[in-house]
Chains A and B, each alone.
Chain A
Amino acid sequence: MSRVTDAPGLWPLASRVLGRELTLAGRHWDQVAQPLLFFVIVVTLFPLATSPDLAQLRQIAPGVVWVAAMLSSLLALESLFRPDVEDGTMEQWVLSEQPLAWMLLMKTAAHWLVSGLPLVILSPLLGTGLGVPVSAWPVLMASLALGTAALSVLGAIGAALTVGVRRGNVLLALLVLPLEVPVLIFGARAVSLGMTGEAVAGPLNLLAAILILAVSLGPMAMAAAIRIGVES
């Protein structure tokens, strides 16, 4: 077998993977919109189920937004690797001489751009509905931006582990949610501190630390898991 001599560097490779993923997402924009719609609906359920009183909603607002964000990220994970494993693309990725961990990280980044970023942009709107003051918008968006990115990477490990299992979605929740709990705790904490005007640097720094840890070590776990998933 001849070696590929014109192998692209890391950054050209990254832009190719990102370009491919974003193009695919653009062609299936309805699937991309579903987790976002789910996020909106879950948040809408809380005023209906508890009380429409803004003072009461304001107290639970950080938790509600964060739980909804976590569930919506979980929902989006199902389609992260599965279609590519089923149509054989992932097999080609594994066989290619390119660094699999890097490609999977870029794939996850593209996934965050279409599933996490819209959620961050939408959050002030929903937050306002739950009584989050305008002064807390930056904290809400910053915590969600750091947090959903970390959720995407942690979730991608779970998605890679369950890709070889037939009905993997309930299992995925069982695997991923315990790992994601610290993100939920610090994210909701940052928002509730921000709403009362206190210093938010602590929890935001911790979220950033979790994100850096996940991004630096997560892709290796993903790559190992995908290798198990495609061999059968």
Chain B
Amino acid sequence: MNWTWFHKFASPPHAYRLLGTLRPWLFWPAVVLMLWAVYNGLFVAPTDYQQGDSFRIMYVHVPSASLSLMVYSMMAIAAGIGIIWRMKLAHAVAAGCAVIGAWFTVLALVTGAIWGKPMWGAWWAWDPRLTSELILLFLYLGYMALRASYDDVQRADRASGILAVVGIVNVPIVKYSVQWWNSLHQGSSLSLTGSSAIDPSMLPPLLAMMVGFLLFFGAILCDRVRAEILTRERNAGWLSEAA
């Protein structure tokens, strides 16, 4: 197999250009999907028989919670690739993932609290799902703190990369906490293989929102990785030629 494309992608100038071209193709579909999903989720989808109108926060809560885990996994995989193949771009991707992932985690926790108040009668419960999501946030913060405490970018990359890889043990704990322990948090309503435990009329906006969030994450990641490349390559020749 020819790996030239892979090595080519790892070269900063090429990646910088490629990500710049990719970004609008991710960003504008994301905006369209999210607007469509917001309209359909808030005005078209029927009221839930049990939860009334407050279930509608699901359209923000579920995508952000699932992305908080997905982004962490991606960060850990990117960090692992960076450590194993000494690829600087992979570390830049991991660094870009951290901040976005942390914000998705915060968003999941905040929308969860707002949803929990009318449903459970409490903003917060020391429940496995909630607690492990909070720990996920601490892992993101620890990753960022460790990065920030090294002056040398290369050492920061590798040290924080090891932490990201070690911390991935928490991802299955968050994901399956609802099944492993008796949890106040409801089980998963979505399923890729079987039938979903959610009414078909409520489903399309949720799926659209999830895809929209994913594309939005991709677009923001493009921006952040480009910014990372600019910081790291600030003394490189190709930048002054491109400018």
The answer for the CA separation of A168 and B163 in the assembled complex, in Å, is 15
Complex CA gap A166/B150 in Å reads 9
The stretch of B22-30, B59-67, B113-121, B139-147 that contacts the partner chain: B139-147
Q: A228 vs B135: C-alpha distance in the bound complex, in angstroms?
A: 26
Instruction: Please give, as numbers and ranges, the residues of chain B lying within 8 Å of A231 by CB-CB distance.
Output: 155
Interface-facing stretch out of A26-34, A43-51, A169-177: A169-177
In the assembled complex, which residues on chain A have CB atoms less than 8 Å from the CB atom of B159?
161, 164, 225, 228-229
Given A171-B145, A174-B145, A178-B170, A161–B138 Cβ distance below 8 Å?
Answer: no
A-B pairs with CB below 8 Å: how many? 59
Give the distance to chain A from B44, nearest Cβ to Cβ, in Å.
Answer: 41
Known contacts A171-B149, A174-B145, A182 near B166 by CB under 8 Å = no
Partner of A161, one of B131, B162, B169, B170: B162
Q: Which residues of B contact A (CB under 8 A)?
A: 83, 131, 135, 138-139, 141-142, 145-146, 149-150, 152, 155, 158-159, 162-163, 165-167, 169-170, 173
Which residue of chain A has its CB nearest to the CB of B152?
A232
Q: Which chain A residues in 177-214 approach chain B with CB under 8 Å?
A: 177-179, 181-182
CB atoms of B166 and A164 under 8 A apart: no
Contact indicator B162/A179 (Cβ below 8 Å): no
Residue of B nearest to A210 (CB): B169
Please, which residue of chain B has its CB at the minimum distance from the CB of A157? B166
Most B-side CB within 10 Å, residue of A157, A179, A224:
A179
Q: A171-B149, A221-B166, A228-B155 known; 4 other A-B pairs, CB under 8 Å? A: A171-B142, A171-B145, A171-B146, A177-B138
A residues less than 8 Å from B139 (CB atoms): 178-179
Q: Shortest beta-carbon distance, B135 to chain A, in Å? A: 5
Query: Does A152 sit within 8 A of B, measured CB to CB?
Result: no
Would you call B145 and A224 a contact (CB within 8 A)? Answer: no
User: Which B residues touch A162, using CB under 8 A?
Assistant: 146, 149
Supposing A182-B173, A225-B162 touch, asked if A175 and B149 sit within 8 A by C-beta, the answer is: no
Tell me the bound Cα distance from A161 to B169 in angstroms.
18
Majority SS at the chain B contact face: helix
Which residue from chain A places its CB closest to the CB of B135 in the assembled complex?
A: A178
Cβ-based interface call for A37 (8 A) = no
Q: Are B162 and A224 in contact (CB under 8 A)?
A: yes
Q: Tell me the bound Cα distance from A225 to B152 in angstroms.
A: 15
Q: How far is the CA of A174 from the CA of B166 in the complex (A)?
A: 14
The 8 A CB mask of A209-223 against B (1 = contact, 0 = none) is: 000000000000100
Taken together as a complex, chains A and B put the C-alpha atoms of A164 and B155 apart, in Å, by 9
Residue of A with least CB distance to B165: A221
Query: Residues of B contacting A224 with CB < 8 Å?
Result: 83, 158, 162
Report the minimal beta-carbon distance from B96 to chain A, rounded to whole angstroms.
20
A165 proximal to B (CB < 8 A): yes
Q: In the complex, what's the smallest C-beta–C-beta distance from B152 to chain A, in angstroms? A: 8
Known contacts A164-B159, A224-B158, A225-B159: A179-B167 contact under CB 8 Å: yes
- The smallest beta-carbon distance between A78 and chain B, in angstroms, is 15
- When distances are taken between beta carbons in the complex, the residues of chain B under 8 Å from A164 are 150, 155, 159
CA distance A175 to B167 in the complex (A): 9
A174 touches B141 (CB 8 A): yes
Tell me whether A165 and B150 are in contact in the complex, defined as CB-CB below 8 angstroms, given that A157-B166, A224-B83, A224-B162 are known contacts: yes
Interface pair B166/A179, CB less than 8 Å apart: yes
| 8 Å CB interface, A83-117 against B | none
Chain A residue nearest in CB terms to B136 = A178
Residue of B nearest to A213 (CB): B169
What residues on A are CB-neighbors of B152 within 8 Å?
A: 232
